[in-house]
Amino acid sequence: MAYAQRLKLLELVSQRAYLLREGCITRDTPLPEMRGCGLRKERSVNAPPGLLPIALSVELALYSAYVKDSRPLSLLIIAPVGSGKTELLQSYSENKGVVLYNDFTAYGLYTLLGQIQAGLVKHVLVADLVRLTSRGPSVWRQILTTLDALIEEGVTRIDTFFVKFHSPTPVRAGIVAALTTDEWRARRKTWIRYGFLSRAIPISYELAPEDLLKGEEAIYEGKSLFQPVKLKLPEAQVEVGLSEHIKEQLKRLGRIIAAVNQDETRFRSHKHVLAMAKASALRSGRMEVNEEDVNTLRALSVLWLSPYSGDEPSFRIMLELPKTSSQLIDALSPFYSKATVYRRLQKLSQLRAIKQEHGTWYSNL
């Protein structure tokens, strides 16, 4: 058997093992039929109040590292002080291929390159990017350019007095970093100039009043809001496909995201949307992107449309569409008040993320 054929067979066996573990196929399912199987219910996300879309975004970023022919997604999570950013990242730090840092230097990143090259590290979680931004301008620029290279073109050679590194192929990893809203506003223009905001997906959020109350209640009841989250990540990369119909829907969303985040060529935004859609399918144990994944991305995109700060009620509204206002109020009543739903409908309408026709709200993305 030729080398290429053996390699392809090993990939199929790896994919089959993953789908067996996820319960998407049985041991009797033939290899050619794997792509069409595995349509099961979306895996639920256990997240603290108000953090459901953020937790889902982090999970999709981590799964993206296991999508064949895709680069690991990077996220910049932006929220006010005390919104749970750091704690949320810490809860995912025990997954394979993930390392968590509260602070580091460019040299600290360089020391990770060997592990990234060996496939042991696929995502670097930075719990508090403020510590890095507080360093001197020259140090911060060096860190930023290193992150840019690690996310996009990859690192192939470093030859300094302290670090010697060489790789025949570019070494890449995803970065998921948390930042306060004030710091983001102060540095946004600089990061746009360096291209960082088009390399990492900026996700901004705030907590709705009901979520703040739930958090307060949990504190006084002695409940722990954040628990370690272990994901069922594949052992190897998995090929995920999509139809022409799905592709056209993703193209539209990619163009909208590119326009908002000033991605002039739109290429990076399209790559982000495509990788996240495939990661969504893989997370649900499927090897084909479907409408459910597209709807998930549309709902998450309200957190990408900076400088607007999204939140969980906006995310839930987008997931429920199309519906009338009264239907949305009923659907979200276990979580949010009528007033909150109306306010979010108004915000989403002003953002042009939704539109109303004959009393029914539809996604405009």
pLDDT, tens digit, 9 for 90 and up, residues 146-199? 788 888 888 877 777 666 778 888 889 999 999 898 888 887 777 767 666 668
- In the 8-state DSSP scheme, what is residue 340? H
Could you report how far apart the first and last alpha carbons of the chain are, in Å? Answer: 48
Q: Give the Cα separation of 5 and 193 in Å (integer).
A: 45
68, 237 in Cβ contact below 8 A? yes
pLDDT at 39: 31
Q: Give the Cα separation of 352 and 100 in Å (integer).
A: 37
Mean pLDDT of 119-135: 84
Lowest mean pLDDT among 54-58, 116-120, 183-187, 295-299: 183-187
In sequence order, the 6+-apart residues with CB closer than 8 A to the CB of 36 are: 288
Q: Give the Cα separation of 291 and 248 in Å (integer).
A: 12
Q: What kind of fold does domain 75-199 have according to CATH?
A: Rossmann fold (3.40.50)
Q: Which residue is associated with the tokens 């996310």?
A: 151
Residue 49's pLDDT band (boundaries 50, 70, 90)? very high
Task: Look at residues 264, 71, 59, 242 and name the one whose alpha carbon lies nearest to residue 172.
Answer: 71
Token pair listed for 235: 């052992």
For residue 289, report the phi and psi dihedrals to the nearest 5 degrees.
-70, 135
Q: Give the Cα separation of 229 and 66 in Å (integer).
A: 18
Rounded to the nearest integer, the mean pLDDT of the chain is 84
Lowest mean pLDDT among 44-58, 74-88, 130-144, 170-184: 130-144
Task: Please state the domain extents for the chain.
Answer: 75-199
Token pair listed for 256: 């909208």
Q: Looking at the predicted structure, is the pLDDT value of residue 345 above 50?
A: yes
Mean pLDDT of 208-236: 94
Q: Give the Cα separation of 353 and 364 in Å (integer).
A: 5
Of all helices (H) and strands (E), which one includes residue 34?
A: none
Token pair listed for 348: 């989403």
pLDDT, tens digit, 9 for 90 and up, residues 265-286? 688 889 999 999 999 999 999 9
User: In a 3-state reduction of DSSP, which class is residue 125?
Assistant: strand
Q: Looking at the predicted structure, is the pLDDT value of residue 37 above 50?
A: no
pLDDT at 157: 78
pTM above 0.75, yes or no: yes
Q: Burial code of 120-137, b = ≥16 C-beta within 10 A, e = fewer?
A: ebbbbbbbbbbebbeeee
Tell me if the bond preceding 209 is cis, omega within 30° of 0. no
Token pair listed for 171: 């070494």
